[in-house]
Amino acid sequence: MTRALTRWITYGAASALALTFIAAPTARAQSDASNVDLCNGRNDASPDQQIQGCTELLKSADNNKVLAIIYNNRGNAYVAKAEYDLAIKDYEQAIQDDPQFPKPLNNRGVAYQKKGQYDLAIHDFDAAIKLDPDYANAFANRGETYSKKGDFSSAAKDFDAAIRLQPKLSVLWNERCWARAIVGDLPAALNDCNAAIQSMPGDASPLDSRGLIYLKSSQWDSAIADYTAALKIDSKLATSLYGRGMAELKKGNVPSGNADIATAKSLDPKIAEEFSGYGLKE
């Protein structure tokens, strides 16, 4: 299941995907401030500009730790362009240059995850966390990957750790809400969703997540209200359409329920299979 975490990336989980910036380049690199800024992605540099800046810096850098940062940053730019194989190659070089640098391990895990290679991704997140046990981004990314594998219990535990380390990151509360709702820990999930809704006004995601809790709790009117509120923000959110349709059917509103479900299926042909995995069937 990818709904929750795909949405998380879309709505700015930049902190979960936090990418490293050059903090202390060599003296030779400092002489070319323009390329340093480009490689760091500063001043709204495009991915292509970042790649160009990093590539130029590689011609003069001679310190392994700095080389690792440059390769890592160029890998980040390749990820932004969805050129994941090139990104992985750069992250591998960064890891080779500085084996104690956890960020390229985390970032390579992200690239593997985007390629659907979840076990490789988890292996990298494990390694990053071993190097830095307080690496909240790696916990969050591993939680996302477990969610994509359908292991929501492990996902919830990783979101626990990420929230402990970054309690002010509202999106993490929403993701833990979703994972807890799916495993059936509904009271705790509801607390998480309420916190996320309060801190994420104007975002459809936590409303959609809370709608699932109410749907699983057979609170049809509350589910319909949350899904409707989410759809006012994002009218093409398939999970909210499908969930509202299911709640309408449960209330006996067959025409409107069937209409919502049909629209949801047109947007996501696998939506019924997804909800079936949550124990919810039409």
Give me the amino acid identity at 64. Answer: N
Q: Render pLDDT for 96-107 as a digit per residue (tens, 0 to 9).
A: 999 999 999 999
Which among 26-30, 63-67, 213-217 has the top mean pLDDT? 213-217
Give the global pTM: 0.84
For the cut 80, the answer to whether the pLDDT of residue 55 exceeds it is yes
Q: Give the pLDDT band (50/70/90) at residue 11.
A: very low
CATH architecture, domain defined by 168-282: Alpha Horseshoe (1.25)
**Position with higher pLDDT, 120 vs 66:** 120
Question: How many residues can be counted in the chain?
Answer: 282
Which of 17-26, 126-135, 247-256 has the lowest average pLDDT?
17-26
Which residue, chain included where needed, has tokens 């998380």? 8
Q: Give the pLDDT band (50/70/90) at residue 15.
A: very low
For the cut 90, the answer to whether the pLDDT of residue 239 exceeds it is yes
Q: Render pLDDT for 105-140 as a digit per residue (tens, 0 to 9).
A: 999 999 999 999 999 999 999 999 999 999 999 999
Tokens of 147: 């969610």
Residue extents of the structural domains in the chain: 21-145, 168-282
With a CB cutoff of 8 Å and minimum separation 6, the contacts of 77 are 41, 47, 48, 50, 51, 54
**3-class DSSP assignment, residue 123:** helix
Q: Render pLDDT for 175-216 as a digit per residue (tens, 0 to 9).
A: 999 999 999 999 999 999 999 999 988 999 999 999 999 999
The whole-number average pLDDT for the span 230-252 is 97
Decide if 261 contacts 255 (C-beta within 8 A). Answer: no
For the cut 70, the answer to whether the pLDDT of residue 9 exceeds it is no
Q: Give the pLDDT band (50/70/90) at residue 277.
A: confident
The whole-number average pLDDT for the span 170-175 is 92
Tokens of 128: 């990053």
One fold for both 21-145 and 168-282? Answer: yes
Q: With CA atoms as reference, report the closest residue to 104 among 139, 76, 136.
A: 76
Cβ neighbours, 10 Å, residue 259: 15
Q: In this structure, which topology does domain 21-145 adopt according to CATH? A: 1.25.40
Burial of 221 (0-12, 13-18, 19+ CB in 10 A): exposed
Rounded Cα distance, 118 and 129, in Å: 16
